Amino acid sequence: MNLKAEFINPFLEATVSVVKTMAALEPVPGTPSIKKESSSHGDISGIVGITGEAEGSLSITFHKDCILHITSQMLGEEKKEINNEVKDAVGELTNMISGDSRRRLQLLGHTFQGAIPSVVSGPEHEIKHITNGPVLSIPFATKAGGFTVEVCFK
Amino acid sequence: MNLKAEFINPFLEATVSVVKTMAALEPVPGTPSIKKESSSHGDISGIVGITGEAEGSLSITFHKDCILHITSQMLGEEKKEINNEVKDAVGELTNMISGDSRRRLQLLGHTFQGAIPSVVSGPEHEIKHITNGPVLSIPFATKAGGFTVEVCFK
């Protein structure tokens, strides 16, 4: 599938909308880039598979400070470590961003299904999407640090 | 979806078949278990989303020694570090196990689609499937150490 601008905005807008709604925090998107090969590094990530018009994968990767801030905002109490509650929050954010992106794509006439998200934690882990197609990478800044959304299709 | 025996064998048999074919190595399955909550720990994992009759996720998690042995067998040259070739090999194994499992489920009348796999690397990372349903965990032993296949559905 061609990763043209039409496909970038639904993921970008869904991410801003979900984080804003869930954490009362406005993430500022940086310049999206499309790479032939890409891997993101962070401390905790949500990953969810996509099928339908094309097969793909969506990941959202946070550094520790950023997700602790977002989760503290979401849960209304300060989180100091990546525990089970934080992992579940990342799963919930991933599910909501996957769902909201697909809803926005549906409005443009593109139908996709989403799988169950998995949450990966571990200091400085790396995620690599296994595809010959392009990988769309969107960096976001928050006052507590950044996170990265990556989307790829076959 | 109910994770009954009918659904365990396709994943178990596909894993044995793919590893045997690709790496000339016979992995010995241990006793599958079904847990309400499960997380697997390892050094490199392949993760792939599943949609269709039910939404799910499949992961396969290796310790370093085990995947280096399997990859050395697959590529016909000794691998000593988890590099890009090893990551791609994990992606390929994940894709093939996902495909072969779904082919076997299809023969039983169950239709599923597979997403694009992602490969996560990082020492002792943890994978958590975000679902309220059961998680099927199948341990495998090889002469170079073990790996774990986990499958969950919503």
pLDDT in tens, B40-72: 889 999 999 999 999 999 999 999 999 999 999
User: What ipTM does the predicted assembly reach?
Assistant: 0.90
3 state DSSP class of A135: strand
Angle at Cα A21 formed by Cα A18 and Cα A26, nearest 5°? 80
Share of chain B above pLDDT 90, in %: 84
Distance (Å, rounded) from C-alpha A66 to C-alpha A37?
Answer: 25
pLDDT in the model for residue B95: 97
Interface subset of B 62-91, CB within 8 angstroms of A: 87-88, 91
pLDDT interval class at B116 (50, 70, 90): very high
Note the pLDDT of residue A6: 79
Q: At B35, is the pLDDT very low, low, confident or very high (cuts 50, 70, 90)? A: confident
Low-confidence ranges of chain A (pLDDT < 50): none
- The long-range contacts involving B17-21, CB below 8 angstroms and separated by at least 24 positions, are B17/B100, B18/B93, B18/B96, B18/B97, B18/B100, B19/B70, B19/B93, B19/B140, B19/B142
**pLDDT per position as a tens digit, B68-87:** 999 999 999 999 999 999 99
Least confident interval from A123-137, B26-40, B99-113, B134-148: B26-40
Chain A residues touching B91 at Cβ < 8 A: 128, 130
| CA-based nearest residue in chain A for residue B37 | A84
Return the pLDDT at A35: 79
For B16-35, what is the mean pLDDT? 94
